[in-house]
Amino acid sequence: MTAKARFFIRCGIAGALEKMLVLNCSIKLLTLEKMLKSHFPESLKAETDDLDHYTNAYAVFYKDFRAYQRLLEEHDVINWDQVFQIQGLQSEVCDVSNAVANSKQLGVKLTSFKAVQFSPHSALPDTNALKGSSPRLTYLNIADADLLNRTWSRGGNEQCLRYIVKLISCFPSVCVRDDKGNPVSWSLTDQFATMCHGYTLPEHRRKGYSQLVALTLARKLRSRGFPCQGNVLDDNTASISLLKNVRAEFLPCRFHRLILTPAAFSG
Whole-number pLDDT of residue 2: 38
Closest CA to 6 of 69, 79, 74, 60: 60
Q: What angle do CA 190, 193, 196 make, to 5 degrees?
A: 45
Predicted model pTM: 0.80
Whole-number pLDDT of residue 3: 33
Spans of the chain, pLDDT less than 70? 1-23, 36-45, 47, 123-124, 127, 129, 131-133, 267
Residue 181 backbone class (left: φ over 0; alpha: ψ -120 to 50; beta: rest): left
Q: Spell out the SS3 assignment of 180-210.
A: CCCEEEEEEECCCCEEEEEEECHHHCCCCHH
Q: Rounded distance, CA 208 to CA 130, Å?
A: 9
Q: Hey, is 69 helix, strand or coil?
A: helix
Sequence-ordered alpha helix ranges (H) in 84-203 = 92-103, 145-151, 158-170
- The answer to whether 179 and 163 have CB atoms below 8 angstroms apart is no
